[in-house]
């Protein structure tokens, strides 16, 4: 395999995602352990409720399990954008990705997060949205953006769109 394909596959494999709505703390940490997560990346716009998943409690909970916790508020999906997009999720993704690259604070957080991937660790993007459909939630839109910036840095010309697992018949390395 070409070196940069290998590099891309390695990068992609480091980005796990999960949600916390309706999930109990012990289920959450079990999922993280199953995914071999070293760092939880909290990208919730609102993070006050439920109280046991507020940033402080989450940090304490994860610490017990030897998992790091980082929070990037500026990578959350602001309610103003969500309101503007309504049920149009194609537009919602576009708004969110433009915001992440274009809003100075978000762009700063994005680059900071991107740099973290040089470490030999697994990361897990977390938010509320109880969905595994990549079309519906900003944790997937952020993952897609990370992969595309990585692709660009490796000299790949095309931009990819994240696909749902069920549709993903081609191996991960080819994206």
The site for Zn ion (CB under 5 A) is made up of 127, 129, 137-139
The residue among 11 and 128 lying less far from Zn ion, judged by its C-beta, is 128
The residue among 11 and 140 lying less far from Zn ion, judged by its C-beta, is 140
Tokens of 11: 């990068």
The residue among 8 and 139 lying less far from Zn ion, judged by its C-beta, is 139
How far apart are CB 45 and Zn ion at their closest, in Å?
9
**Contact yes or no for 41/72 (Cβ under 8 A):** yes
The residue among 32 and 127 lying less far from Zn ion, judged by its C-beta, is 127
How far apart are CB 44 and Zn ion at their closest, in Å?
8
The residue among 60 and 161 lying less far from Zn ion, judged by its C-beta, is 161
How far apart are CB 3 and Zn ion at their closest, in Å?
34
- The 3-class secondary structure across the chain, one letter per residue, is CCHHHHHHHHHHHCEEEEECCCCCHHHHHHHHHHCCCCEEEECCCCCCCCHHHCHHHHHHHHHHCCCEEEECHHHCCCHHHHHHHCCCHHHHHHHHHHHHHHCHHHHHHHHHHHHHCCCCCCEEEEECCCCCCCCCCHHHHHHHHHHHHHHHHCCCCCCCCCCCHHHCCCCHHHC
How far apart are CB 75 and Zn ion at their closest, in Å?
11
How far apart are CB 169 and Zn ion at their closest, in Å?
25
């Amino acid at each position: 395999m070409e070196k940069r394909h290998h590099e891309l596959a390695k990068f992609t494999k480091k980005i796990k995602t999960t949600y916390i709505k309706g999930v109990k703390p012990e289920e959450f940490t079990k999922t993280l352990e199953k995914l071999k997560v070293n760092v939880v990346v909290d990208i919730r716009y609102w993070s006050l409720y439920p109280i046991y998943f507020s940033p402080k409690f989450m940090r304490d909970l994860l610490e017990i399990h030897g998992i790091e916790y980082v929070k990037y508020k500026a990578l959350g999906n602001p309610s103003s954008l969500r309101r503007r997009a309504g049920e149009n999720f194609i537009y919602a993704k576009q708004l969110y990705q433009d915001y992440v690259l274009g809003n100075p604070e978000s762009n700063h957080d994005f680059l900071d997060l991107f740099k973290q991937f040089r470490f030999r660790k697994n990361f897990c993007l977390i938010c509320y949205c109880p969905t595994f459909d990549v079309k519906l939630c900003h944790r997937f839109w952020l993952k897609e953006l990370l992969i595309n910036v990585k692709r660009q840095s490796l000299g790949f010309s095309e931009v990819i769109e994240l696909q749902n697992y069920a549709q993903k018949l081609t191996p991960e390395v080819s994206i």
